[in-house]
């Protein structure tokens, strides 16, 4: 298997699983049996509570691949009560660890049950409660029934089939055709090390990197190259377009050395509009790349005149030209998104 294929396999951003909380333990029917106490009263203990299904955020996780190992996950059942009013042990809770940005959806309806992006690493979300343990016969003693011979059964747990969907969280999403220079830019201005080569679809998985501007931290996301028809499933775009949904703003990278440079922005915007979810309405800038190559300066000027309503910058990531101005533009893009109510 090639490195690129392995990368796709390792990055799992959606899984469907069945989860169940535990059944409560049954209450116990028991009577005291001690020397010189031939007719002891009821002493049956309560059953233990079934285990809950809980979700926790683990910042070190970047993918859902660890949940592909099996499709069914169950919390522990509560143990039955015992004599001498001994309480059954509670069932072990099922803890499902997920990366930041995970959304929980109902598998049948697609309804969003919980967006876990608001959860801190110290919190946990209880999705399914375990069944209550049944009461032992000690609870049913009365003046008219001194020796109750019944106890409550434990309550059953709950079962749901859900889809876990990972959506990356970033300040700026780098959007462009394959080979537009997104990975090169990310590797130059951040601590990320994406795979880089001079052929299409080098980036097979999204990459995140952190850029610092005036002590402000910006998280950049390199989204795999979009091609015309991506919103309908062509290429890799459809699989990763959803990751742009959580970015505050977008930077459209246009390869000025490519013969298709003139119509690239319109094609990219059309794909975002077709996909929907408000992607085309996000605050954005246009970044002309590879301005170190012959003829690109003239194309950059033309690009600015074609899109007067959007900030247009020119950079060369290889020669590190225009990167300071780009950083300022990213910072301004984040501010604009905050003012407009973006993430």
| Residue 11 annotated as lining a ligand binding site | no
| Residue 204 annotated as lining a ligand binding site | yes
| Residue 58 annotated as lining a ligand binding site | no
| Residue 205 annotated as lining a ligand binding site | yes
| Residue 318 annotated as lining a ligand binding site | yes
Nearest to 186 by CA among 214, 166, 205: 205
Residues counted in the chain: 343
| Residue 290 annotated as lining a ligand binding site | yes
| Residue 209 annotated as lining a ligand binding site | no
Write out the two tokens for 33: 């049996």
Side-by-side strand order, sheet with 72-74: 72-74, 14-20, 159-166, 102-106, 112-115
| Residue 242 annotated as lining a ligand binding site | no
Q: How far is CA 300 from the centre of its chain?
A: 37
3-state DSSP helix/strand/coil % of the chain, to nearest 5: 25, 25, 50
| Residue 3 annotated as lining a ligand binding site | no
| Residue 180 annotated as lining a ligand binding site | yes
| Residue 308 annotated as lining a ligand binding site | no
| Residue 202 annotated as lining a ligand binding site | yes
| Residue 222 annotated as lining a ligand binding site | yes
Report the C-alpha gap between 224 and 239 in whole angstroms: 9
| Residue 176 annotated as lining a ligand binding site | yes
| Residue 249 annotated as lining a ligand binding site | no
| Residue 288 annotated as lining a ligand binding site | no
| Residue 200 annotated as lining a ligand binding site | no
SS (H, E, C) 201-260: CCCCCCEEEEEEECCEEEEEEECCCCCCCHHHCCCCHHHHHHHHHHCCEEEEEEECCCCC
Would you list the DSSP string of 111-164? -EEEEGGG--TT-EEEEEPPPPPPPPGGGG-BTTBSS----PPPPP--EEEEEE
Q: 32 by DSSP, 3-state: which?
A: coil
| Residue 274 annotated as lining a ligand binding site | no
Annotated binding residues for Mg(2+), written as ranges, equal 183, 203
Annotated binding residues, written as ranges, equal 176-183, 201-205, 222-225, 289-292, 316-318
Annotated binding residues for GTP, written as ranges, equal 176-183, 201-205, 222-225, 289-292, 316-318
């Amino acid at each position: 298997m090639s490195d690129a294929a392995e990368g796709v396999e390792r990055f799992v951003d959606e899984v469907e699983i069945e989860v169940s909380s535990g059944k409560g333990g049954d209450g116990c029917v028991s009577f005291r049996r001690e020397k010189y106490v031939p007719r002891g009263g009821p002493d049956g203990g309560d059953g233990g509570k079934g285990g809950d299904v809980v979700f926790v955020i683990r910042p070190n996780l970047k993918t859902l691949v660890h949940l592909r190992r099996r499709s069914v996950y169950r919390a522990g059942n509560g143990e039955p009560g015992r004599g001498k009013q001994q309480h059954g042990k509670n069932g072990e809770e099922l803890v499902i660890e997920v990366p930041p940005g995970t959304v929980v959806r109902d598998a049948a309806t697609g309804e969003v049950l919980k967006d876990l992006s608001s959860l801190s690493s110290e919190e946990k979300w209880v999705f399914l409660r375990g069944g209550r343990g049944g009461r032992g016969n000690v609870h049913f003693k009365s003046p008219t029934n001194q020796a109750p011979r019944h106890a409550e059964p434990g309550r059953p747990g709950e079962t749901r089939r859900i889809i876990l969907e990972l959506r990356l969280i970033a300040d700026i999403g780098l959007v462009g055709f394959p080979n537009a220079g997104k990975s090169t830019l990310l590797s130059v201005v951040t601590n990320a090390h994406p795979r880089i080569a001079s052929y299409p679809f080098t980036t097979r998985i999204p990459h995140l990197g952190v850029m610092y501007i005036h002590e402000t931290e910006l998280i950049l996301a390199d989204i795999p190259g979009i091609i015309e028809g991506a919103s309908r499933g062509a290429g890799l775009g459809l699989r990763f377009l959803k990751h742009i949904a959580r970015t505050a703003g977008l930077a459209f990278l246009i390869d000025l050395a490519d013969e298709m440079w003139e119509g690239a922005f319109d094609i990219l915007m059309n794909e975002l509009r077709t996909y929907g979810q408000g992607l085309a309405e996000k605050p954005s800038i246009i970044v002309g790349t590879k301005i170190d190559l012959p003829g690109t300066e003239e194309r950059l000027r033309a690009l600015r005149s074609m899109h007067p309503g959007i900030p247009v910058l020119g950079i060369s990531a290889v020669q590190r030209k225009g990167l300071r101005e780009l950083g300022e533009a990213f910072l301004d893009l984040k501010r604009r998104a905050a003012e407009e109510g973006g993430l």
